[in-house]
Structure 1
């Protein structure tokens, strides 16, 4: 049986000192981008309050049913793991502090066991240790999972921004514009290019668009089809398209792949494309 009200009262009574013991391990640490290396009194106060809250939730293990405890603790830990200051701190620093908290906690379990060895046997003490390690491991898992979600969310947002910035329609003169394409084009980016280009051409009332491929390193069947789709969609809204800047190695690859640009206006350079547009 893991529940023990005397142990619970002992831990609750020592909670403030447990937090101070934990912070002694943190104080003076100098780490870049770590919330624990702060000298801000308000941040330090908040860190101690969070640690104290963490310990108080751990104490509940010794007065509640194990199943009920883990259900409640998991929900609370998921909310704690979303704390932005900790999410901005490198994961290994946060994991280290979970492990430091675990060691502090076990030290107090040892103290209680030594003072109550006549009432608590070694098997009970070891079972408490195992339970605390399980709880802390759960905390670490939940935090890492939340940190991973946060990282993926940031990467997705950054990728969307990069994709939007990498497919701008640039107004050159009158109703003529340029779409410079740079880098690899996958299905997701091709969709963004299609949507952004159509929207910008409609907004700027573009009549002729030069699609510059000089910055595209690789072209395959998929990329070619996406370019064809873009040109067809532009044609539907009244925009004439001209491909320019196809590099020799790209042209050679296109021939090897059997890709045909017979029905599309192409020029070697942007200046030639502009001259063709102005003379038509």
Structure 2
């Protein structure tokens, strides 16, 4: 390692507290952010430790010349921020602020050693530090996105499971009200869950109510009527209620014979017919 680069490395580590404190002081009160200025003392100290860990990671890039060490901090921190729902844009904003603090500390070192430095030295340090910050932001964003996507998918699955129950209205008759877009159910084993619930309840008739479906495309219409066919194979009578004109049109275009299906315009009509 170049002698002056080594001095800069040591200088930055010696002033690590003087970099983290201005960053903490710069915070503002922000709702739903771990970095809010009114955070507890424990949270503030956690942020200080996290920031100093970040600083050492960036400084190590100056020493080693490799960006490979950045992934660990990015993954650990992004995972925690995503899990607690901290806004991504807020984290990027704090990256931007700390980059300025970090570069100002390098400028202070340059002022102390102007006579011994070459232009190439300062240019190289600036390039390396900015490259490290940019790469860290890329990694942080990637890991944050992965955790956020996984959380969103899990939440969607939980909502889907709750929104497609087979409701038993008698010993042999059940209702499954479909709410929202049908394509939300296609990726969550909708058909399999309906079959399992219907079988467990020992139903002989299942009403599929579509009155809560705002729209449906060709693929999902076909998927829905495949469920009806599977119910028929299991000896379960399927009734569809609340079919909108566009759903009926799509079914006809697919060659589905609606005359062979028991349909009702309203759910209450089917229930009254079956129970009374």
Question: Above 0.5 in TM-score?
Answer: yes
User: How far did residue 209 of structure 1 move?
Assistant: 1.0
TM (normalized to structure 1)? Answer: 0.87
Where does structure 2 lack aligned partners over 5 or more consecutive residues?
none
Distance (Å, rounded) in 2 between the aligned partners of 1:106 and 1:219: 55
Distance (Å, rounded) in 2 between the aligned partners of 1:230 and 1:110: 68
Q: Identify if the C-alpha distance between structure 1 residues 223 and 92 changes in structure 2 by more than 3 Å, giving closer, same or farther.
A: closer
Q: Identify if the C-alpha distance between structure 1 residues 60 and 167 changes in structure 2 by more than 3 Å, giving closer, same or farther.
A: same
The residue number in structure 2 matching 1:18 is 19
Does structure 1 residue 242 correspond to structure 2 residue 243?
A: no
Where does structure 1 lack aligned partners over 5 or more consecutive residues?
none
- Conserved in 2, the CA contact under 8 Å of 1:208 and 1:277? no
The residue number in structure 2 matching 1:32 is 31
RMSD of aligned alpha carbons: 2.5
Q: Identify if the C-alpha distance between structure 1 residues 85 and 270 changes in structure 2 by more than 3 Å, giving closer, same or farther.
A: closer
Of 105, 109, 121, 1:124 maps to 121
Give runs of aligned pairs for residues 1-280 of structure 1, distance below 5 A: 4-26=5-27, 29-37=28-36, 38-64=38-64, 66-67=65-66, 70-84=67-81, 88-186=85-183, 189=186, 192-248=189-245, 250-251=247-248, 254-255=251-252, 258-278=255-275
Between Structure 1 and Structure 2, how many residues are aligned? 274
Q: Deviations over 1:124-159 (max 9, x none)?
A: 112211111111111111111122222222221222
TM (normalized to structure 2)? Answer: 0.88
Distance (Å, rounded) in 1 between the aligned partners of 2:246 and 2:11: 75
Q: Deviations over 1:164-222 (max 9, x none)?
A: 22221111012211112233212852763211211111111111111222223334543
User: How far did residue 42 of structure 1 move?
Assistant: 0.3
